[in-house]
Amino acid sequence: MAIAPARLSDPVVGALVAAVNAHDKDAFLAVLTADATMSDDGSDRDLQDWIDREIFDSGGHMDVQSESDGGRTLLVNYRNDTWGEMRTTWRFVIAPGGGRISRFETGQA
């Protein structure tokens, strides 16, 4: 059974998951720092290009299966129109002050 974004331990991570599932790019970007970075399967990617291709232009959706590290590491059944569904791990780094995500790393679990 998936964990609802509002029930995740870290509210910033929950806001990002909610934004993905609502297909709300503005809300997604609002929880990231201006200089946020990310990686996919261990390789750094261009953030804007990746989120357009893998999330917003392809109907991305996160079903969180479990969380650890205070809600900053998620095991997710992720699906989009390009790749179908896959089990992925997402790790988040919260910027000092706790209000935004400065980096996330995702990859197949």
Give tens-digit pLDDT for 40-99: 999 999 999 999 999 999 999 999 999 999 999 999 999 999 999 999 999 999 999 879
Contact 99, 12 (CB under 8 A): yes
DSSP string, 20-56: HHTT-HHHHHHTEEEEEEEEETTEEE-HHHHHIIIII
Query: pLDDT value at position 19?
Result: 98
Mean pLDDT calculated for residue range 20-31: 98
**Number of structural domains found in the chain:** 1
Give me the pLDDT at residue 60, please: 98
Average pLDDT over residues 29-49: 98
Q: What local confidence, expressed as pLDDT, does residue 98 receive?
A: 73
CATH number at residue 58: 3.10.450.50
Structural domain boundaries enclosing 32 = 5-108
Q: What is the pLDDT of residue 21?
A: 98
